[in-house]
Amino acid sequence: MPDIIKLLPDSVANQIAAGEVIQRPASVVKELMENSVDAGSKYIRVIIKDAGSSLVHVIDDGTGMSETDCRLSFERHATSKIIKAEDLFAINTKGFRGEALASIAAVAMVEIKSCLHDSELGTIIKINGSKVEMQEPASCPPGTNIAVKNLFYNVPARRKFLKTPSTEMRHIINEFQKVVLAHPDIRFSLHHNDKELFNLPHSNERQRIIAVFGKNMNQNLINLHTETSLVKIRGFIGKPENARKTFGEQFFFINNRYMRHPYLHKAVMGAYENILPPDEIPSYFIFLHADPATIDVNIHPTKTEVKFENERMIWQILHASVRESLGKFNIVPSLDFDNEGVIDIPLPGKEPAGMPGIDINSDFNPFRDEDNYKDLKRDFERKRDSNLKGWDKLYAGLDKGDSESIIPDKEFDDKQRQTPAMGPEKIFQVRNKYIICPVKSGLLIIDQKRAHERILYEKFIEALKSDTVVAQRSLFPKTLELDQADLALLSEIEEEVKNCGIDIRYLGSNTISINSQPSASMNEDPVEMLEIILEEYKSTEKGPGDSNREKVAVCMSRAAAVPYGRPLEITEIRDLIDKLFKCANPNYTPSGKAIISIITLDELEKRLR
Ligand code: ADP
Ligand code: MG
């Protein structure tokens, strides 16, 4: 049999590559705009005819190209942006694969004019379906001007595949938005069939977002800002009340490149957990900056998918960052309802939450030096006092009988139906899981276990910092057997565990005894408690800035917290609420789960309309 393998002609190879890189007119818009950005342009104009099927025209004032470069730029794998393989790990440009122009020229009629800033004459080249039809010197302004006409004219199957003009235009606008949001310092305009759709002066990120999405966006943006050695996060997240049921305003940028990142999207969504109905999606515009050596943008031909070296860490940092911003801005307005000033709980969210819970500065160690600790302690106490003051006011409101209209719903079991008899506070426990408390703005809902976790956490942290043992309850020693792995783990955290009130003795041959447990523990079974601590310790990721003590405190608080399903006496409920609002951060558990939520009167009224 004769040899049958042949090398494909470039024109065919380019057409095949074009299938990946150029899927529709919007891909051309993206690639050309990105080239203009890479060329250092200050002003980039995009002109579209017939949703890009007859013309995509991009004019920039960037560096321009020499005659040779202009010709070479249409060769496959022709790029000025990387030279050697190592450069792939230090990419600061949008492009680097050198395929876009070759791909576009394979499936369209292209006319390019380009001129270097210090040249008198530029170059004009015409290429149809990879074939150079004309190349001449031409006088043209500095910069590059590329017109891509009749996309897919030579690939009828693909041309047919194009969707309606409005759909294709929507894709173009999407791509345009991604580039302009990533580069607010560049001026951009977009015209379609002689109509100006966008004209965006150079500005900052916030102004650019507003210029693109409209003035209403202004009130919707909550600042996001976290800097760690691994990643810097800046940007904005949308307020929960403006979340929508459809995707559209969710943007991640890594080093000024738009990226799709379903995994990190979950970090953001997770932070909104319990704040938003599960089918609603908040807007976000999140700009991440990381060392290019720690990311890989070369995993997909269109480079919209990016792989991070430390993805799980970044997930946590992002989640914590969004949580923190929401904590500052979210719960507060819903409690800040009252016109008569009867109830005003100044939750810590109003001030920057310095401590504790989720510390995202990876260099930050609250235990490292005395001064640091004193600052934190002062901060902590100030917040605690202001919470307490606010909480007293809340009671004042309740005593005035503001809750008269609250009728238990049909899900309340019999025990709870009697709760009005609980006293003047009218506090309910529902399903032995939630505590419901009428407040002036509606119904305050508290997750009992999470509330207790928060209280215990702060207590344990205090104990660990000051090296004082939390008051212990003596108990008849309980013994249990552990395997080697658990024994080793226990010896690692033994000191912290002891400080939090669990006294452990080693009895030899894998057996230990537990001689005390924290006074505040609501878990009566010390053996179960220790098992939970070990389990939690194994499965809990340490937060980026967390010390071992914080992790132990988190695990201990989970193990010792009042479990769901436990009926609480009214005095216990009051105590829980009191202690919760004395916490530095009553809004969230140390791991970032919402503790409290409010059903506003408005919502109640809407339900019964
Ligand atoms: P890549 O962007 O991956 O390098 P492209 O095919 O998009 O590949 O472009 C090839 C080369 O052409 C670029 O590396 C750049 O040197 C040059 N080029 C393309 N567009 C422009 C432009 N608007 N201004 C200046 N140079 C450009
Ligand atoms: Mg390019």
Q: Tens of pLDDT along 78-102?
A: 888 888 888 888 888 888 888 899 9
pLDDT for residue 487: 84
Q: Which tens digit of pLDDT belongs to each residue from 247-276?
A: 889 999 999 999 999 999 999 999 988 788
pLDDT band for position 524 (cuts 50, 70, 90): confident
How many CB atoms lie under 10 A from the CB of residue 346?
17
Q: Which tens digit of pLDDT belongs to each residue from 221-247?
A: 999 999 999 999 999 999 888 888 778
The residue among 90 and 383 whose pLDDT is bigger is: 90
Nearest Cα to Cα of residue 198 among 221, 216, 178, 218: 178
The ligand whose atoms approach the alpha carbon of 106 most closely is: 1
Q: Among the listed ranges 305-309, 445-449, 470-474, 526-530, which one has the minimum average pLDDT value? A: 470-474
Q: Which helix (DSSP H) or strand (DSSP E) does residue 116 occupy?
A: none
pLDDT band for position 485 (cuts 50, 70, 90): confident
Find the 80 Cα to ligand 1 centroid distance in Å.
7
pLDDT for residue 416: 35
pLDDT at 346 over 60: no
Task: In whole angstroms, give the CA distance from residue 429 to residue 446.
Answer: 9
The ligand whose atoms approach the alpha carbon of 113 most closely is: 1
pLDDT band for position 300 (cuts 50, 70, 90): confident
Residue 236 three-state SS: strand
pLDDT for residue 474: 63
pLDDT for residue 552: 87
pLDDT for residue 268: 95
The ligand whose atoms approach the alpha carbon of 34 most closely is: 2
Please say whether the beta carbons of 190 and 48 come within 8 A.
Answer: yes
Q: Which tens digit of pLDDT belongs to each residue from 164-188?
A: 999 999 999 999 999 999 999 999 9
Task: In whole angstroms, give the CA distance from residue 123 to residue 137.
Answer: 4
The residue among 314 and 600 whose pLDDT is bigger is: 314
pLDDT for residue 544: 59
Q: Identity (one letter) of the amino acid at 600?
A: T
pLDDT for residue 601: 87
pLDDT for residue 351: 34
pLDDT for residue 546: 65
Task: In whole angstroms, give the CA distance from residue 148 to residue 102.
Answer: 12
Find the 79 Cα to ligand 1 centroid distance in Å.
6
Please say whether the beta carbons of 530 and 514 come within 8 A.
Answer: yes
Q: Which tens digit of pLDDT belongs to each residue from 394-430?
A: 443 343 333 332 323 333 333 332 322 333 478 889 9
pLDDT for residue 348: 34
Nearest Cα to Cα of residue 433 among 595, 200, 248, 221: 595
The residue among 583 and 184 whose pLDDT is bigger is: 184
pLDDT for residue 390: 44
pLDDT for residue 330: 52
pLDDT for residue 371: 43
pLDDT band for position 70 (cuts 50, 70, 90): very high
pLDDT for residue 341: 28
Beta strands in 52-98 (DSSP E): 55-60
* Nearest CA owner, ligand 1 atom 17: 73
Q: Which helix (DSSP H) or strand (DSSP E) does residue 222 occupy?
A: strand 221-227
Q: Which residues line ligand 1 (CB under 6 A)?
A: 31, 35-36, 39, 60, 62-65, 73, 78-81, 95-102, 144
Q: Which helix (DSSP H) or strand (DSSP E) does residue 387 occupy?
A: helix 370-399
pLDDT at 376 over 80: no
- CA 310 to chain CA centroid, Å, is 15
* Nearest CA owner, ligand 1 atom 16: 80
- CA 371 to chain CA centroid, Å, is 32
Question: What's the whole-number average pLDDT of the chain?
Answer: 81
How many CB atoms lie under 10 A from the CB of residue 300?
14
Mutate to test the pocket of ligand 1, among 10, 67, 91, 101 (most ligand atoms within 8 A of CB): 101
Find the 180 Cα to ligand 2 centroid distance in Å.
16
pLDDT for residue 542: 65
Task: In whole angstroms, give the CA distance from residue 314 to residue 563.
Answer: 31
pLDDT for residue 439: 82
Q: What percent of the chain has pLDDT over 70?
A: 82
pLDDT for residue 352: 34
pLDDT band for position 294 (cuts 50, 70, 90): very high
